[in-house]
Amino acid sequence: MDEQVKKSRKKRNPREHANLFTVLTFLYTFPLFLLGNTRDINESDLYETYTGHKASILGKQSQVLWQQELDNANTQKRKPSLLKVLVKILGWDFLLIGIAVGFENFIAQPCKALFLGGLIGHYAKKDCSGFPSYLYSLGIIVSTLFCCLIGQPYLMASYHMGLKMRVVCSSLIYNKILKLSPSSLRKSTPGYIINLLSGDINAFERVGFLLHMLWVCPLQAVLFLYLVWTKMGVASTFGIGFMVMFIPVYVLLGSILKKYRLKVSTRRDERIRLTNELIQGINVIKMYAWEKPFAEIISTFRKLEVDSMKKSTYLKGLFTFNEILIATSIFITIISSVLLNDAFEATAVFVTMNLFSSLGLTVTSFFPLSVAVLAELRISLKRISAFLQSQEIDLCAKSEDNESAVVITSGFAKWDEDGNRNTLTDINIHIKKKSLTALIGAVGCGKSSLFQVIQGELRLSIGQLCVNGSLSCAAQEAWIFSASIRQNILFGSEMDEERYMKVIDCCALETDLKLFPHGDQTIVGERGASLSGGQKARINLARCVYKKADIYLLDDPLSAVDSRVGNHIFENCIRAFLNEKTVLLATHQLQYLAYVDYVIALDEGAVQMQSSEKELEASKFDLSRYLSQDQSASRTHLDSMLKPGKVETHTQVQEARKSGFISIGTYKRYLFASNNPLFVICTVLSFVFAEMCISGSVYFIGHW
């Protein structure tokens, strides 16, 4: 397919063959930056996805591990844990990040503060010359270099870990969507699923780094307390105690933030669900001029969502007071030392400031954020895990009878599991391999429901289903996705030129493709806007037929085409191309019953007759009621071959691109988008004032 061609042309990712030094310094990204300096970067310059991040690898691994977790949970009679699956896949990544975080916080940062204290103490002496000053300076440089070489790579590794978690969970969700039972589909609205894929998965972005702060923070507090104690004595306990005192406050804020995060997710689910239902029924809303009432309803839901988001943001804003807490802790330590009449030097003050700055960033910023991220992670994992445990379609059992393709014994089924009325009642059918079986019946008699049962989409409440072989189905309502006609037919399968051309011919698409200017590369809309009903039906049929399967379920594919095209499809596709396959054809075209092997007649969800064509003639079964349905069938979708003057094609328009510098007007419009210039100016001035206060406090201590 086209995507595979593009993928094969992409350059190999430089991260694949990068050594340790280039990974730590990100030198492997320099060629792309140099290229961007000479010209604009386009799609052909992008690299192939890094092997460790590919969804094809992580997705398959996660599917296997999640199935194992489900089996173990059923055996041990407990709830399956998505966290265990993530630990098995990303446990080593998380451990390596933890080692790097620990090395920076417990070795590199304390050494930098101690070397700084040693350098200041050396110059405070009368004889400040000599070799020790060079050693202290070298120690500061090396420890700072180690912080850079370790800090930035482990932050990048943390984001990569978050990306992998997103890929794993997205793969599990997408795979689950394909297996959901009808009852689960009704409960899991599109808005709910979209929110899982967009909102909940975003909680994984900073997990790899911030979760380590939960154990780094208390250990770092103990270590730094000891180091400050050696410099400031008992006074150090007051400063660190003041800082640690705010940890329970931030934990409480994290629990409150968790509640608001849940409210935001719930209200967003409701808003997206309502918006989706509104779009589905937009024709009715337009017809009755209900736009304003429904717009007000959506605005109300959006307002509730925004209110929860505002409160959540205000709480997150309280986590940014770390600079104030750090400065206050240093002030309390120094004042306590003065009041206790403890002697201290400039060395002790600057070492204390350095250690408090590192500890304060961890205690007042990273630790509260880690608590909030942990709360969001627990909620997201709980929601995703609940979705992954939704009821699935039943996998069909395999019959020991090698002559049978489909066998249903005493089958009862209903769409509403809580209802009393059965959709299908006492179904007993036996379809042999390599046979052509026609399924006839009035509109609404249960033909499509029977197909859903065979596919496993509709569960049998009573009875047994056995299917021997793979399935391919052409649904009654044809659907087209936004891509080329070829991609709609291949649907991800490998291109087989000979089979593809045979499918095009037997599905009567050859003449249509010649009339399109781009042939089978013509882009069609998501709802097939550029195609007639018959064309969509034949592309839908071609997609089903192109797939190599043992059993083909064709749900009334001849109703949307005229008699000439219908004869061509029946003779060349159903009877000839699928001659060696098992075909179950639902149809109202009773003139084709003379050419099928078996006939099954349904009426009000029950099998009225099942026999061969000869037995049908001998039984003199009354087909008049089915014939009347055929005669009264709507002809609004009957399709004749396209006329050249009526061909509508959709072409992909290239996106407009501009190169150069961003204009000042763009920044101006961005800054004043709030329509409140005074608010913007005050915000900027507050940032400037805050930085002046932070820098001024350090300058004042140095001067003092």
What single-letter amino acid sits at 387? F
- Highest mean pLDDT: which range of 179-193, 244-258, 463-477: 463-477
pLDDT band at 184 (very low <50, low <70, confident <90, very high): confident
Q: What is the mean pLDDT of residues 505-529?
A: 79
Which of 155-159, 210-214, 269-273 bottoms out in mean pLDDT, i.e. has the lowest?
A: 269-273
Query: 629: pLDDT confidence band, cut at 50, 70 and 90?
Result: very low
645 has pLDDT over 50: no
What confidence score (pLDDT) does residue 308 get? 85
Beta bridge partners of 612: 598
Residue range 325-378, pLDDT digits in tens? 777 887 888 888 777 766 667 777 778 878 887 887 787 778 877 887 888 888
| Predicted pLDDT at 500 | 92
Whether the per-residue pLDDT at 527 is higher than 80: the answer is no
Element (H, E) at 382: helix 367-388
Question: What average pLDDT is seen over the chain?
Answer: 81
Q: Is the pLDDT of residue 271 over 60?
A: yes
Q: Is the pLDDT of residue 641 over 50?
A: no
Question: 211 pLDDT exceeds 80?
Answer: yes
Strand, helix or coil for residue 465: strand
- pLDDT, position 702: 61
Pairwise CA distance, residues 299 & 301, whole Å: 5
**Which CATH number is correct for 404-628, 3.40.50.300, 3.30.70.270, 2.60.120.590, 3.30.1330.20?**
3.40.50.300
Structure tokens belonging to residue 95? 């451990």
- Which residues lie closer than 8 Å to 450 by C-beta, 6 or more apart? 424, 427, 439, 602
Q: Provide the percentage of residues in the chain whose pLDDT is more than 90.
A: 11
- Range in 42-56, 116-130, 198-212, 248-262 with the lowest mean pLDDT: 116-130
Does position 648 have pLDDT exceeding 90, yes or no? no
* Residue-wise pLDDT tens digits, 53-93: 888 899 899 999 999 998 898 888 888 989 999 999 999 99
What would the two tokens of residue 94 be? 């998380």
- pLDDT above 70 for 631: no
Q: Is-above-0.85 flag for pTM?
A: no
What does the pLDDT read at residue 398? 57
Q: Is the pLDDT of residue 636 over 60?
A: no
User: Contact at 8 Å (CB) between 357 and 113?
Assistant: no
Residue type at position 543: R
Average pLDDT estimate for 590-594:
83
pLDDT score of 64: 92
Angle at 161 between CA 155 and CA 165, to 5 degrees: 145
pLDDT of residue 654: 53
**Nearest in space to 700 (alpha carbons), one of 347, 380, 330:** 330
Helix, strand, coil content of the chain in percent (nearest 5): 65, 10, 25
Let me know if 502 is exposed, middle or buried by CB neighbors in 10 A (0-12, 13-18, 19+).
Answer: middle
pLDDT above 80: residue 674:
no
Task: Kindly tell me if the per-residue pLDDT of 407 is higher than 60.
Answer: yes
- Is 523 in contact with 517 (CB distance < 8 Å)? no
Residue 664 confidence (pLDDT): 83
pLDDT number for residue 113? 85
Kind of pairing, strands 404-413 and 460-467? antiparallel
Sequence-separated (6 or more) residues with CB below 8 Å from residue 247: 217, 363, 367
More confident residue, 617 or 583: 583
Q: What is the pLDDT of residue 553?
A: 92
Note the pLDDT of residue 1.
45
Residue 646 has pLDDT above 50, yes or no: no
Tell which wins on pLDDT, 379 or 660. 379
Distances (CA, A) of 594 to 565, 612, 616: 18, 10, 10
Q: Where along the chain do its domains lie?
A: 1-46, 49-210+385-393, 404-628, 674-703
Q: Which of the listed ranges 204-208, 226-230, 422-426, 486-490 does the model predict with the highest average pLDDT?
A: 486-490
> Which candidate, 468, 462, 461, places its Cα nearest to that of 435?
468
- The confidence score (pLDDT) of residue 9 equals 64
**71-96: b (≥16 Cβ within 10 Å) or e:** eeeeeeeeebebebbbeebbeebbee
- 649 pLDDT more than 60: no
Model confidence at 552: pLDDT above 90: yes
CA 210 remoteness from chain centre: 22
Long-range contacts of range 71-77, CB-CB < 8 Å, 24 or more positions apart?
A: none
Q: Are 522 and 440 in contact (CB under 8 A)?
A: no
Alpha helices in 438-584 (DSSP H): 447-455, 485-490, 497-506, 510-515, 533-546, 563-568
Residue 542 pLDDT level (bands cut at 50, 70, 90): very high
Burial label, 33 (beta-carbon count in 10 A; 0-12, 13-18, 19+): exposed
Average confidence (pLDDT) over 160-170: 91
pLDDT score of 344: 65
Q: What is the pLDDT of residue 301?
A: 86
- Quote the pLDDT of residue 626: 56
pLDDT at position 324 is: 74
